[in-house]
Structure 1
């Protein structure tokens, strides 16, 4: 239902673009477009009405109407895109009246779809009533007649609410944490605190308020169900005045719901408590008064086994040795999720023989996709509740994840680029589509539908994954909606006529001659002409259909491409393509026609073993992401004025690159290598950098230095919107003065020769700097032995006020001391320094938020390990351990000593 709504929402502005003067359509055609726009708007309103109904109240007739409407919308979008491509690619042959044939066909389809479902008998009847809004409403009132009678659904989580506490597994630790949060600190008797735990369903606000009123009044208020919402709120407040209370509220799914509930709660500083459960992290953060959010961790392996045994054998007994291996595989797939473990255990408990062969049958059924398995229904129903509660714009983004295999690590930025290419991300004025896509991703994470696998040092998610149980649901839903089709073998199993998105994941014999056919076997009834995405994993690329069969493809993602399987003309004819990712060994000729792909937004050739890019790439003026390894860029790549990301530009291989770089004014991410430390090269680089006013990320991967980034005039200005400067291997002769203007910088990694107090003052004033990796090298005076050990102070008065992670590698003869009031938010401190530094004194006690400390003492400068070196190192270890141990936060400590082993040059690390 929501997918049809989302499709319609993206179609309406697409139709509007056809009315611009650019296409010069005839008057009659423009009128038909306006009519179709109005008709689609009414359909969208009707769909929204239906979508507000519970799923069980929508009859089959409406479901069929929605299905046909969605397919119709997709066909119209494809036709519109095809017409626009024809206009842009061949304006002389794209006659204005050619669009009339498209609309004649579309109107015919529309009439057929509506007559089938009693919307209207023919298009003439629709045209006569187009201006009458009220009559248009009446035309869709059949929806009310198709609603099935109200039925009461049983909450599938209900049995767990009345479970015997003695049978619960893995709750001891979480119970104590919840108790500690309820108690709070010294003021726990005074302030009302709100603490959250986990997942829930869609709330009925009136029902929740009525339930609260009945319980707090001890059933004295017998007419709670007759009161409206405002009356309920006032009555609850009257009962709670000056009372100490503990209220547990389940099913809070959005911020608005919590805002209403909060109105009923009076805080008179008598020690009352409220526990709210939610699956939405945004709700958790918003409703938590003091930041007390408790996230349930997955069950441990031990507790997972206990839960499985209790459900199957009704007691804690060991698993028979024959079942050990299959049991561990099943539990690994469940990932510590109690719901998954209980559901699978229920299936196993129903088996009379309980042999490993039967259990392997259950294991193989997990993640079965569209195949119906009644024993999995309960789990799917519960997972489906969270999906159903999502806004319509998130659902296609989530379902798109069904194209990826189980346990596949998905780069977040790549996923967002795919969403944008498919048109799932709604464009808004003054907003970047990719920023909006990142917000979509964060919403899905907050709703616990996506697992984060890797988060970088500033808290940004970089890699994600979908849990097997969620993936199973997505595959099933995608098949029902004809959203995606996945092939895991040589033959595609599909009952649909038109495939919209296809993923090939089958494992193919390494010897292709051993297979009967060198192409994916498709049923004759299957139409792939309308496929919008083709994603192929591994050597399944050898069996994919010819690219010439995909006429409206938007996304093509191929790994390990064998060049002989793709004809250059086929690749260059994919005029609708927005996203292209290729890797493997191919000839340069394969990419000759790439300049024809005028709509291409993302070109990802990382892992494609070619020495240079084709010259035709300079014609892709709409390209926004160019991702390459060490390939040579052609002269004129500065014409790619829409580029937002360039990774990785190798200056050595592209001599004119630095001069042309300054033309890319829209660039937001630049990863560069091959920089030369000579003054002329750096001056050209800085001059180009001054033109990149939109730059957010700058990464230099050169192990060079010392270099200067400060040899420009006082009028020169750096990229003031820079968020990330990653120059881990870059050593600066001095900290540039223009760093002081980087008020949005949150991540900085650099090396500096001869670190000075003024440098620390400059960095400490950066308002949003969260991560700092600073490597202090010896300057010329220190190399000549003219400088003794020196202390530099990171002062108080809220310097480094946003810093959360500080990594300090010290190869110089100075030391840092933290004064009181400095780095008030610092949680992690990583130190690497030589054992020759005798004046070690960090002043850990002044780091009030410290949670983790890592220290590595480097003794490798002493080529022969002496007793003195070892004694000094272990003495410093003791001092560090004592200093960290006396910290009131009791931070964790990882401490190691690196020293030469015997007489060879290999280094060893001993962790203490």
Structure 2
């Protein structure tokens, strides 16, 4: 983390010098000195930053470097801010002369203030440099900065306990054990790799040890070896360990020259030994593809039926190691609630039942364990030493689990194992992961929002050939790949839309954030505020007046669940001193007017006012010259001031609110009237919703926004369509397009000659005279949604050959009697929605069509005679939902009423039929039990499926 702070400030110093800012000569020299000294320290910090927990003296040194980096960054930001305030054009004449003189004096004063502060930084840097050389000598840092985690061996000593667990102490292991044994002893005779992957603490090592020791496995293979790789492995020691085990098992003498063999000789020895043998070798705890590359060549690829098992926390490692041998990947899942409870009671109460008075407390503790066997065993072990009559002790652990992780020796093993995943992150991912400590417990993390915040903070570094958003998406993918965040909702293209972080990992990064002054949250009772707050996350309330003094260097302010008026007033007061703010998220805060204090935030890059009650933006929004993201979704703003056109760095402009109702209305989202001149915002990537209006030139100007990736336009008229198509032809980067006409007008988009080649999502609302044939050329299309299209020809004919189509929705889009999915077509379709197709009588799914369909939604198709013919063949179908369908249709599905259609849906795990009654949804589960669930309330924005609104 210290290295990351240094890298950020190095970038700023380099930019400051490269842009030839008019610095006094001595100031420039001192800035160059600070930059050069920080640069020399960066490589060493890559090692020292991970070792600081185990060396208190070194920890202090790393903290000093981090503080100096932060202070230098603040000085630069303050300097740029002062230049902004003092710079500008001056009037002519005598008054102009006076203004110019005042400007020069102010500018000179700013330079001398910077000079003084930079001089102080240089003096501190000189002292730190002396200690830097001392620590370089102490740690003997190699040129390449190889991993020297002093805590690593300790962690692996703890992790080795997994090899000693008795089978009787395990739960949830029977099924995965059986599947892994089958993969090992059955199948063809080629060498295969079996990867077991999952987050730290899931029990990968324990599971594989049970498989390794299984009697069937022992009997099947001639040779067996268990090699612990770890993140600190050396190739030589790993190969020597392998030779030692293989030779010992066969009771053969160890080669006499083993200790002097080089790597190539060691590899040759192992490979020769394994020839013509059926072997199983476990490589436990593989952290990188490079580690696998170092060992894979010792394995003979002979047809002896040999197997290799590896465990890893990283999905890329698991898949890469298996793909070459056509092997298997087993993704280990957390324990179920029932399995977790069984394991918890076995450890905490020695197999007895949980006392009734502790039931609620224990279940809450267990929820925070998130099905992680390591956590359940460790925490229940601590509780087993407490008297079950002392409820306060049990409550204390529940409320203070974070501090217990740091201070309780019995939980140190668990913390060390989980911490390995953090320590092994590359430096650029550590701040990104720690930033998640801003979010409250169990909060759904929206990836689009998170990416924008990372970019605004400066965590994302430009890569040649990639946009910052693409690089940031890669960062997110890495965290998912490393099992550090858990995907909860996916986009149609397979990317992650929303995720969450395990409670225990959250506790670890909260601890790191406090220790490194990275994020401060207001949820803690009687908390001690750090000397300098850099990021503030408000959870629920913000009432302490004394924290005003901590905001001068704040770079992020995020609020979650702030509702009361006193907290709102405190926030508005606090913002007045947050001059360095880069990220401001006031989502859901009760604001009726745009806070004037925001207009002074010159460095602000990301501003979210989503779901506030604001109705108008001030013209002085133009002051926010660095603003890149403006999120006004869910507000009541319908017009933007001319000043918005001055924001030349704006990339994301989201302004609309949704119309509530049980079903989506024709005009379900009210946008804003776009300004003449919006085409000058050259960096816009997301623009929604803009309302076309008669006589405007907005549709022509859209052609100028060549960076657009998402565009939503409403209130189109038939006469607009020629110009619209001409503009869209020029938007070659567009990936999402939504077009909506004024109700009753025709959406005539046949004129589109060169549709965006990378278009993935297409939403068309309005009458289509005929199907737009250019859609057939969209090879990247994953989702298509037709509303009020009134097509008479079966649109499936035109969509069936699109290779990547995953999601189709029709709402009043087809007036014919029959839809037919032809044999072998729609090979990737996963979700199908049919709504209010009032002429539809039959849906036919021919054999081999839609083989991977997972979810089917049918609603308000009042004359549909039966469930889709062929649905009985869809083995991947998990959910079928019927909304507001006729009673006779539903009756035909129930077995107890001798329903003639039940046999078609009997294999589907979840079947529901739902009605909108008395202002809420009434849900029935089709399992013969007539179970009702009611949710929603009158006036709430409730929609039949969340998928319909995901793209918004």
TM over 0.5: yes
1:533 and 1:369 map into 2 onto residues whose CA distance is: 28
The DSSP-based 3-state class of the residue aligned with 2:248 is: coil
1:44 lines up with 2:78 in the alignment: no
**Shift in alpha-carbon separation, 1:194–1:102, aligned structure 2, 3 A:** same
Give per-residue Cα distances to partners, 1:662-687, cap 9 Å, x unaligned. 43222212234x334x3113334334
Q: Name the stretch that deviates more: 557-566 or 225-234.
A: 557-566
- Structure 1 position 703, deviation (Å): 9.5
The DSSP-based 3-state class of the residue aligned with 2:715 is: coil
The DSSP-based 3-state class of the residue aligned with 2:346 is: helix
Q: Note the 1:423-462 alignment, pairs <5 A.
A: 423-462=458-497
The DSSP-based 3-state class of the residue aligned with 1:765 is: coil
Q: For residue 529 of structure 1, what is the aligned residue in structure 2?
A: 552
1:859 and 1:427 map into 2 onto residues whose CA distance is: 51
Q: For residue 127 of structure 2, what is the aligned residue in structure 1?
A: 115
Q: For residue 102 of structure 1, what is the aligned residue in structure 2?
A: 114
Q: Among 217, 240, 246, which residue is 1:216 paired with? A: 246
Q: For residue 206 of structure 2, what is the aligned residue in structure 1?
A: none
Which runs of no fewer than 5 residues in structure 2 stay unpaired?
89-102, 143-147, 201-229, 657-669, 928-952
Q: For residue 299 of structure 2, what is the aligned residue in structure 1?
A: 265
Give per-residue Cα distances to partners, 1:474-493, cap 9 Å, x unaligned. 11001111111112268652
1:546 and 1:793 map into 2 onto residues whose CA distance is: 59
Q: Note the 1:343-354 alignment, pairs <5 A.
A: 343-354=378-389
**Shift in alpha-carbon separation, 1:646–1:78, aligned structure 2, 3 A:** same
2:35 and 2:731 map into 1 onto residues whose CA distance is: 40
Q: For residue 668 of structure 1, what is the aligned residue in structure 2?
A: 709
Q: Among 160, 175, 190, which residue is 2:177 paired with? A: 175
1:683 and 1:40 map into 2 onto residues whose CA distance is: 58
Q: For residue 635 of structure 1, what is the aligned residue in structure 2?
A: 675
1:869 and 1:116 map into 2 onto residues whose CA distance is: 76
- Structure 1 position 440, deviation (Å): 0.7
Give per-residue Cα distances to partners, 1:198-251, cap 9 Å, x unaligned. 456525143433333222333536355554433332222112112112222211
- Structure 1 position 37, deviation (Å): 3.5
The DSSP-based 3-state class of the residue aligned with 2:477 is: helix
Give per-residue Cα distances to partners, 1:383-409, cap 9 Å, x unaligned. 111100110011000111111111222
The DSSP-based 3-state class of the residue aligned with 1:603 is: strand
2:710 and 2:594 map into 1 onto residues whose CA distance is: 31
Equivalent pair of 2:551/2:574 in contact (CA under 8 Å): no
Equivalent pair of 1:611/1:631 in contact (CA under 8 Å): yes
2:630 and 2:575 map into 1 onto residues whose CA distance is: 17
**Shift in alpha-carbon separation, 1:26–1:328, aligned structure 2, 3 A:** closer
Q: Among 723, 728, 731, which residue is 2:760 paired with? A: 723
Q: For residue 785 of structure 1, what is the aligned residue in structure 2?
A: none
Give per-residue Cα distances to partners, 1:416-472, cap 9 Å, x unaligned. 111111000111122111121111111111212112222233322222222221111
Equivalent pair of 2:763/2:785 in contact (CA under 8 Å): yes
Q: For residue 645 of structure 1, what is the aligned residue in structure 2?
A: 686
2:616 and 2:880 map into 1 onto residues whose CA distance is: 53
1:70 and 1:374 map into 2 onto residues whose CA distance is: 29
Q: For residue 414 of structure 2, what is the aligned residue in structure 1?
A: 379
Equivalent pair of 2:593/2:614 in contact (CA under 8 Å): no
Q: For residue 304 of structure 1, what is the aligned residue in structure 2?
A: 340
Q: For residue 165 of structure 1, what is the aligned residue in structure 2?
A: 167
Equivalent pair of 1:563/1:586 in contact (CA under 8 Å): yes
2:710 and 2:436 map into 1 onto residues whose CA distance is: 25
The DSSP-based 3-state class of the residue aligned with 1:546 is: helix
Q: For residue 731 of structure 2, what is the aligned residue in structure 1?
A: 692
1:151 and 1:291 map into 2 onto residues whose CA distance is: 30
Q: Among 568, 580, 591, which residue is 1:552 paired with? A: 580
**Shift in alpha-carbon separation, 1:777–1:151, aligned structure 2, 3 A:** closer
2:136 and 2:59 map into 1 onto residues whose CA distance is: 14
2:491 and 2:755 map into 1 onto residues whose CA distance is: 25
Equivalent pair of 1:767/1:801 in contact (CA under 8 Å): yes
- Structure 1 position 320, deviation (Å): 1.2
The DSSP-based 3-state class of the residue aligned with 1:418 is: helix
**Shift in alpha-carbon separation, 1:869–1:239, aligned structure 2, 3 A:** closer
Equivalent pair of 2:492/2:782 in contact (CA under 8 Å): no
Equivalent pair of 2:706/2:730 in contact (CA under 8 Å): yes
Equivalent pair of 1:775/1:811 in contact (CA under 8 Å): no
The DSSP-based 3-state class of the residue aligned with 1:156 is: helix
1:791 and 1:560 map into 2 onto residues whose CA distance is: 43
Q: For residue 134 of structure 1, what is the aligned residue in structure 2?
A: none
Alignment root-mean-square deviation, CA: 4.1
The DSSP-based 3-state class of the residue aligned with 1:732 is: coil
Q: Note the 1:294-373 alignment, pairs <5 A.
A: 294-314=330-350, 316-368=351-403, 372-373=407-408
1:468 and 1:479 map into 2 onto residues whose CA distance is: 16
2:884 and 2:30 map into 1 onto residues whose CA distance is: 80
1:272 and 1:663 map into 2 onto residues whose CA distance is: 61
Q: Among 318, 324, 328, which residue is 1:284 paired with? A: 318
**Shift in alpha-carbon separation, 1:811–1:266, aligned structure 2, 3 A:** farther
Equivalent pair of 2:893/2:900 in contact (CA under 8 Å): no
1:415 lines up with 2:450 in the alignment: yes
The DSSP-based 3-state class of the residue aligned with 2:785 is: strand
1:274 lines up with 2:311 in the alignment: no
Q: Among 771, 786, 793, which residue is 1:750 paired with? A: 786
Q: Among 12, 18, 21, which residue is 2:10 paired with? A: 12
The DSSP-based 3-state class of the residue aligned with 2:298 is: coil
2:591 and 2:814 map into 1 onto residues whose CA distance is: 51
**Shift in alpha-carbon separation, 1:880–1:270, aligned structure 2, 3 A:** farther
- Structure 1 position 879, deviation (Å): 7.6
Equivalent pair of 1:7/1:70 in contact (CA under 8 Å): yes
Q: Among 54, 66, 71, which residue is 1:70 paired with? A: 66
1:877 and 1:287 map into 2 onto residues whose CA distance is: 52
1:911 lines up with 2:911 in the alignment: no
Equivalent pair of 1:489/1:505 in contact (CA under 8 Å): no
1:452 and 1:708 map into 2 onto residues whose CA distance is: 37
If asked which structure has higher relative contact order (CA below 8 Å, sep 6+), I would say 2
Give per-residue Cα distances to partners, 1:543-571, cap 9 Å, x unaligned. 34522222211111224445599851x22
The DSSP-based 3-state class of the residue aligned with 2:724 is: helix
- Structure 1 position 255, deviation (Å): 1.5
Q: For residue 133 of structure 1, what is the aligned residue in structure 2?
A: none
**Shift in alpha-carbon separation, 1:243–1:357, aligned structure 2, 3 A:** same
Which runs of no fewer than 5 residues in structure 1 stay unpaired?
121-136, 509-517, 783-788, 886-890
Q: Note the 1:813-852 alignment, pairs <5 A.
A: 850-852=875-877
The DSSP-based 3-state class of the residue aligned with 2:309 is: strand
Equivalent pair of 2:488/2:499 in contact (CA under 8 Å): yes
1:561 and 1:215 map into 2 onto residues whose CA distance is: 63
1:231 lines up with 2:271 in the alignment: no
Q: For residue 395 of structure 1, what is the aligned residue in structure 2?
A: 430
1:491 and 1:11 map into 2 onto residues whose CA distance is: 33
2:515 and 2:84 map into 1 onto residues whose CA distance is: 36
Q: For residue 520 of structure 1, what is the aligned residue in structure 2?
A: 545
1:460 and 1:735 map into 2 onto residues whose CA distance is: 29
**Shift in alpha-carbon separation, 1:491–1:536, aligned structure 2, 3 A:** farther
2:149 and 2:883 map into 1 onto residues whose CA distance is: 74
**Shift in alpha-carbon separation, 1:96–1:726, aligned structure 2, 3 A:** farther
- Structure 1 position 330, deviation (Å): 1.4
